[in-house]
Amino acid sequence: MNRLPQPQKISIRGPAGDLEAILESPGDEAIVGVAVICHPHPQHGGTMHNKVAHTLARSFVRSNFAVLRFNFRGTEGSDGVYDNGVGELDDALAAMAWMRQQQAEGPLWLAGFSFGAAIAVRAAVAHDVDGLIAVAPAIFRFAGKLDAQPDCPWLIIQGDEDELVAIDETVEWVDSLDPGPELLVVPGAEHFFHGRLHDLREAVMAFVADNR
């Protein structure tokens, strides 16, 4: 029986000071890649402990990735103050660089939820990654004017009953992109995927397996 992976609480250096983080690994399994997870809006209670962010992390761990979740600047134990998505992009890039230093080989994936999904999309434009998962991305509020689009396999997952990120806005944005991402609409799911986290995890794992 494989030992259960033990999350490690760590601190990494970010552009505004130290960033509180959690590093997870796939137990006794060989690490096939690394992933960085971006959490939802810090001014609305979003942290790296959010259940959707946690589900994203577990999806990658089960896919044998080493996974880093971190708190954006000014969130819980992270230094700095909220910066309207500007400094938070720098935080994500710093987390990606740190993760790549720890594991030089294998693919690097990004994933995020809501505000964190928009930051992950912008980070994937700014820095080459091997894959991207964006759950209920708040695109028009935090990443509406992109100079380019991510050049990697990427998946957007959203519930059709999302009360915070309108499904019509997401579809409109996806339709404006060429070639754009895959879009998976989860029937009956709202913003926080209450009762649907299993479906979310399975969708992420399937997409990672198909694009590894």
The Cα 149–Cα 112 span in angstroms is 16
User: Is 183:158 a contact under the CB 8 Å cutoff?
Assistant: yes
> Tokens at residue 67, please?
């996974």
Give the type of residue at 101. Q
pTM summary value = 0.94
Q: How far, in Å, are 25, 110, 125, 178, 191 from residue 65 at the CA level?
A: 7, 12, 22, 29, 26
Residue spans per domain, the chain:
8-210
Query: Is CATH 3.40.50.1820 the right assignment for the domain spanning 8-210?
Result: yes
Residue by residue, pLDDT tens for the chain (212 residues) are 344 457 899 999 999 999 999 999 988 788 999 999 999 999 999 999 999 999 999 999 999 999 999 999 999 999 999 999 999 999 999 999 999 999 888 999 999 999 999 999 999 999 999 999 999 998 776 656 777 889 999 999 999 999 999 899 889 888 888 888 999 999 999 999 999 999 999 999 999 999 98
